[in-house]
Chain A
Amino acid sequence: MAHNSRERPRFGTGWLPYALVAPQLLITVVFFLWPAGEALWQSTSTQDAFGLSSEFVGLANFTALWGDPLYLASFRTTMIFSTLVTVCGLVISLLLAAMADRVTRGKRTYQTLLIWPYAVAPAIAAVLWAFLFNPSIGLITYGLAKFGIEWNHALNGGQAMFLVVLASIWKQISYNFLFFYAGLQAIPRSLVEAAAIDGAGPIRRFFGLVLPLISPTTFFLLVVNLVYSFFDTFPVIDAATGGGPGQSTMTLIYKIYSEGFKGLDLGSSAAQSVVLMVIVIVLTVVQFRFIERKVQYA
């Protein structure tokens, strides 16, 4: 790549740049590398809940996982869940952002309303939706019954999945909306107008011009949302379904949480979190290597 020959700013001393990044490095070490190392170490041992006795077991925790068909099943559940959350979440938010971008009156109100859900804690979001869909007293349940649809997510796995996906998407829409909206606003009006003059209709303009221009935003959101659906959704599942019925909403992260915090089985929980860590690292690398090529940075 031909580089711009502009002089880059240079620091006179060798230590200053290190000092400047030191706080960030420290945070990374204390809050990311250390816990990750701790998880690696714990995944090779079994110990009682109080940590009074601990025994090195090598890879036994991992082999136990591979022998557990339900653990393998939760991979499938996680894939379905995270794909739904990411894809539907992005599409809906983009749609909302595109519509809000066209609105001229009452813009602020729309923005505020759309950003609101972000202020709600995930667990509360889940409880809220679980209430609306409560099999006995839920408002929506009542409405659905009028159409002859019987709602009972305590028994119906598909309905339970729908509920946790809905709550997770709703929670994340604001975040996606903000970025999409900012991205849309940054597109020069003149470009869109020029396309319009050339005879491109709204749909053609959107897919041919707007979408490629916001592709860096979309890519960023894709990564963030995937990580969100993998890691941050356990309060939603915990409050709405508890992984059930059966194990139909048991995602990898919820399994880690329930076995580590409820079951107090730290060895197995640590082994699972190591597996999840590897998966997300691989997924992120894949995204950057293959999808990012399609991204056009202006």
Chain B
Amino acid sequence: MKQPSLRTFALAGAGAALALGMSTSALAATEIQFWHSMESALGDRVNQIAADFNASQSDYKIVPIYKGNYEQGLAAGIAAFRAGNAPAILQVYEVGTATMIQARKAVKPVWQVMKDAGEPFDEKAFVPTIAGYYADSKTNHLVSMPFNSSTPVLYYNKDAFKKAGLDPNTPPKTWADVKHDAEKLKASGMSCGFTMGWQSWTQLENYSAWHGLPFATKNNGFDGPDAKLSFNGPQQVKHIQFLADMAKAGTFTYVGRKDEVTSKFYSGDCGIAMTTSGALANIAKYAKFSYGVGMMPYDADVKGAPQNAIIGGASLWVLAGKSATEYKGVAKFLNYLASPAVAAKWHQDTGYLPVTKAAYELTEKQGFYTKNPGADTAIKQMLNKDPLPFTRGLRLGNMPQIRTVIDEELEGVWSGKQTPKAALDKAVQRGDDLLARFAKQGS
């Protein structure tokens, strides 16, 4: 009796396998590779978005793949392109924008992708200061898709403020306040009053925009590749001197080039930390005290300040050389990302900015900002004032290296080895060499 039953099983199994194989080939969705740099919790969110999109239709399948941090992801994308094996969508950090724009033959601009695919796409729906960073400076069309954008904000420890005799509901507004509050925090026994991360981005790029000062000529490089750096003006020198004095007095502690400050803050070591709005998720998860979020401080004696913040983070690029079907799927997916519900959820889950005005309004309507005070600080900074021609963002080649140059020179200031003026002059000179090199590579 056993023999036939086994055979039936085998036959049934084979039949099922055959049917399954046929059904998958009949419904084969076009696979679209999406390389990104979103780690751990953020990566889970990206996977979820892709899964939701895939479930919403059956023609296309987005395959998100984590390719290391921003630098590694960009290098991997470029290597794959050179080998003729590039993904359809590549996430590139904001300072890689000029590199991508320069590679005309390697990139298909997002507005073109949408137009060719016949997808309705409203470029005006995006927050102007975000879209401006990724817009073609001549046509004003979007060349890449805004995805995860952030701005620097000020986190402060309310419990420590209370202990130091400060008002826990008043974050420092000006740089003079920062110094005053940091002194009080130190006096109350805290080892570190104020700290900041991503120093080029927070203390020079955003400081300049926030005070209505250019970071480079040619409208920060938007008007042409032959821009020269100009962040060594008297106001910036004054600001770096201000921080150097704080470092000397022990009220500002430097802990590293990247997001080392986040753990410094949520561990309770530092009372005030200036870093990316994207750090909010981690701070919310780990901080065992009540904290507040304030806007970037400004210097009250600068006319017109505060102006508007400029973004960090990354955008999504569509690479060249794919089939029309694939581009159609890419267009559908990018539109899905920009839809108010998806963009609003991404913003609420991660602390990144809402990239469209509709996503911002939806989040507000859902009462998210009342439940999570401070979550709207970043977007308020973006919408603070209409951007000036040179506060839309940066469009400078070799920008990752320029940031490293700034890190190196500023570290010389914090350790007392050189004056702020000398450091900024040197950084500008070294940065200009890098800009010139970049312009030559593209020709």
Contacts and interface: CB of A to CB of B under 8 A. Distances in A.
B408 interface: yes
A150 to B, nearest CB: 10
A136 interface: yes
Given A137-B263, A152-B254, A246-B415, 6 more contacts: A53-B442, A154-B256, A155-B414, A259-B401, A264-B78, A267-B441
B417 interface: yes
Interface in B360-408: 398, 400-401, 404, 407-408
Contact of A244 (B103, B106, B407, B430): B407
Given A50-B103, A263-B398, A154 B440 contact: no
Interface size class of B (residues with CB under 8 A): 35 or more
Interface centre among A46, A47, A50, A245, by most chain B C-beta atoms within 10 angstroms, is A50
A261 B106 CA distance: 18
A262 to B, nearest CB: 5
B71 A246 contact: no
B442 A48 contact: yes
- Say what secondary structure dominates the interface of chain A: loop
A267 B430 CA distance: 18
Interface in B399-443: 400-401, 404, 407-409, 411-412, 414-415, 417, 430, 437, 440-443
Contact of A52 (B106, B263, B437): B106
Interface in A260-278: 261-265, 267-268
Interface of A: 46-53, 55, 64, 70, 135-137, 152, 154-157, 242-247, 258-259, 261-265, 267-268
Contacts of B72: 261
Contacts, number: 98
Scoring A259, A262, A267 by chain B CB atoms within 10 A of each residue's CB, the highest score goes to: A262
B401 A136 contact: no
Interface string B66-108: 0000011011001001100000000000000001001111100
Q: Which residue, of B71, B412, B441, B442, has the highest number of chain A Cβ atoms within 10 A?
A: B441
B442 A246 contact: no
Contact of A246 (B103, B260, B412): B412
Interface string B33-72: 0000000000000000000000000000000000000011
Contacts of A242: 257
B441 A265 contact: yes
Interface in B90-140: 99, 102-106
Contacts of B404: 243, 258, 262-263
A237 to B, nearest CB: 13
A120 B410 CA distance: 34
